[in-house]
Structure 1
Amino acid sequence: MTTNGTANVLQPQDVISPKISTPQDILIRLCAVGINPIDTKLRKRGTFYPEQIPAILGCDGAGIVEAVGSNVSRFQVGDEVYFCYGGLGKKGTGNYAEYAVVDKRFVAAKPQSLSFAEAAAAPLVLITAWEALYDRGRLEAGRRVLIHGGSGGVGHVAIQLAKLKGAEVCTTISSAEKAAFVKNLGAHPINYQETNFVDAVNDWTEGEGVELAFDTVGSENLEKTFAAVQLYGDVVTILSPSETINWKEARSRNLRIGLELMLTPQLTHNLDAQLAQTKILEQCSRLIDQGGLKIHLHQTFPLEKAAEAHQLLEAGGMTGKIALVMN
């Protein structure tokens, strides 16, 4: 993108291939890249580094190690890897491309049971759901969880992570098809277009409310959710709370509010937090290969059709994730 705006600002261009510049760099030949809502937001409003335009978007990537720096021993040429790094507008990063250079510390071995497209669609949503439920929400076995948007990219992963922890899960959806999808993941579906989700949650919990609610929708949905959470419960959101939100219900219930932004480690250059996210990817890779965690890929597009992929994501209503694939 050479400017911000509609999806059409994404145009194929030839650029100089990135080169290894430090001993711990890895050159990766990208085979696929995940598309995330943060990509469309940065495209519309501008990146975190507007002075470094033009920019290549794309935080998530999966591919094959092409070359390694002199201080890299954990990976070798030919290894299959996946990661979440770059794509926020900083010069020399971004994965809507054929090659990327990434620090070895932020790369994990790709789950062998996933295709490159599935693996590329996974990192950001895996880290987001993991941090939201396990770190912010302090989820424990036996607890009841409400996950909003359970058929979406973050939502369908969150359901599975909650179930792996031994929790009971209900989730909001908008169609019979999506209800069947989340049921297959082990969640109780609540069609928010047909019923008041707060009433449905309270019925499901016999009037007690859930111990943890995970908001992936934002806006007025966060405020409505307070009434579905039991006293001293937790609410975690991945969206910025509105300035007009009424916190009275949350305060009267003594709710603990958690904010989750998985991009914080990159934006603040917090190495410890970045290393922790790499460990999450490593653990998730094992869970995926053991059959305990699946990534639902809705559709793929060739790299040069990135604008069409953005249009599909912004249209809403899809299940799971989408990805770009390289020839």
Structure 2
Amino acid sequence: MKAILMTAAGNPDVLSLQDIAEPKITAATQIKVKLKAAGVNPIDTKVRRNGVFYSQPLPAVLGCDGAGEVIEIGSAVDRFKLGDKVWFCNGGLGREQGNYAKVTVLDQRWASLMPDNLSFVEAAALPLVLITAWGALFDRGGLQAGQTVLIHAGAGGVGHVAIQLAKLKAARVITTVSSEEKVAFVKSLGADDVVVYKPNGFADAVNQLTAGKGADVVFDTVGSAVFKESIAVTAHFGRLITLLDPGDINSAEARMRNLLIGFELMLTPMLRDLHEARDKHVEILNQCRHAIEQGQLKVHVSQKFPLEQAKLAHDYIEAGHTQGKIVLEMD
């Protein structure tokens, strides 16, 4: 079968379209899926550039997010049948095969039925960002109805679904974006207030919007500089959640504010084989499926590339300022 192989750590040129053996079912609870699309996420580019998480030798197939059709089932499979359309976050980190390929095999435990009203491309764009945003806002952030949340980079892959999830919780959403062109987009997703990054930052604007109180929950999807400035816009006794390493910080103001600081790395259950935590990830997809089918949650795919153009997809995402998601399409 055709697959994109990461042949070494480095720039996008290390990605190569090759023929490899089609994976086989080796356990009674596994399903074989004909992949129709694979989401492209920043983690894919980081693994490509820095190396895989495991000691297995290269080459490796990247891509955590996938969507496709069940074409074979193991003898003990009881959740799916032939022809079912499924989406999932599985593999792509250097051990299990990822989804930049025509076919994959995974345990039925880690897959979920796709929303009826999504295409394969739309479905493949969502699992990782939905699980990430849900974990940051609700599990780590404890966001409640009526609270104010500040979501950084609201037009991005994680940010644009985080806005919608927060609104489903009946929270007030303030979001930051990198340009005036993105304001209308995040407003269409439900953002109540939008702050465009300025050379002097965003803190003054956010504190003005919150009458100096700050946001109850702040969700940093950007990195160190944004995290550090966010301390001053997190309400006293609030929660500041980040996806990234904040680096060295002066914790005096965070301590004075009695902040809870949390980290969200949705890959941890896969990397550490925490199966019960992965079960929670599948339940998140199940709950989001219902919201999507009811028209309460949507995905924005800004670019789709054929599988053989995975290099271009990586170039595009590493250029920055992506609006929504990027997806590889198999057919």
TM-score category, normalised to shorter length: over 0.9
Checking the alignment, whether the CA contact within 8 Å between 2:175 and 2:195 is kept in structure 1 is: yes
Using structure 2 for the length normalisation, give the TM-score.
0.97
Counterpart position of 1:232: 237
Q: How does 1:62-81 map to 2 (within 5 A)?
A: 62-81=67-86
Show the counterpart of 1:151.
155
- Determine the C-alpha separation between the residues in 2 that align with 1:37 and 1:28: 24
Partner of residue 284, structure 1: 288
Number of aligned residues: 325
| Displacement of 1:241 | 2.0
Q: Counterpart of 2:112 in 1: which secondary structure?
A: strand
1:120 aligns with 2:134: no
Deviations 1:3-41 (A, max 9, x none): 110001000011000000001000000000000000000
CA contact (8 A) 2:179 2:197 kept: no
User: In the alignment, which of 22, 25, 41 is matched to residue 36 of structure 1?
Assistant: 41
| Structure 1 residue 201 corresponds to structure 2 residue 228 | no
Deviation at 1:225, TM superposition (A): 0.2
Cα distance in 2 for partners of 1:120, 1:36 equals 11
* Structure 1 residue 300 corresponds to structure 2 residue 300: no
- 8 Å contact 1:220–1:245 — kept in the other structure? no
Matched, 1:312 2:311: no
> Where does the alignment leave 5 or more consecutive residues of structure 1 unmatched?
none
Q: Which residue of 1 aligns with 2:166?
A: 162
- 1:324 equivalent among 310, 317, 328: 328
**Which whole-Å CA distance do the structure 1 matches of 2:185 and 2:11 have between them?**
31
Distance in 2 separating the partners of 1:100 and 1:218: 33
Q: Which residue is 1:184 aligned to?
A: 188
Q: Give the secondary-structure state (helix, strand or coil) at the position aligned to 1:21.
A: coil
Match of 1:272 among 258, 272, 276: 276
2:257 matches 1:253:
yes
Q: Which residue of 2 aligns with 1:130?
A: 134
Q: Indicate conservation of the 8 Å contact 2:63/2:98, yes or no.
A: yes
Do 2:148 and 2:172's aligned partners in 1 also have CA atoms closer than 8 Å? Answer: yes
Moved over 6 A (4+): none
Mapped to 1, the partners of 2:45 and 2:69 lie a distance apart of 26
Equivalent pair of 1:179/1:189 in contact (CA under 8 Å): yes
User: Which residue is 2:50 aligned to?
Assistant: 45
Instruction: Find 2:14's aligned residue among 9, 21, 27.
Output: 9
Deviation sequence 1:243-280 (CA, Å, 0-9, x none): x2222221111100010000000011011001110000
TM-superposed deviation, 1:196? 3.5
TM-score, normalised to structure 1, is 0.98
Tell me, yes or no, if structure 1 residue 219 matches structure 2 residue 197. no
Question: 1:69, 1:193 → 2: CA distance?
Answer: 55
Do residues 26 (structure 1) and 31 (structure 2) align? yes
CA distance in 2, matches of 1:130, 1:151: 16
Aligned to 1:171: 175
* Deviation string, structure 1 residues 178-226 (Cα, Å, up to 9, x no partner): 1010111121110012664111111111111110000000121101100
User: CA deviation digits over 1:53-95, x for unaligned, max 9?
Assistant: 11000000000001011111210010000000100011x4111
Q: Which letter maps to 1:66?
A: I
Q: Is the 8 A contact 1:223 1:247 kept in 2?
A: no
Superposition CA RMSD, Å? 0.9
Task: Indicate the percent of aligned positions where both proteins have the same amino acid.
Answer: 54
Structure 2 unaligned segments of length 5 or more: list them.
1-5
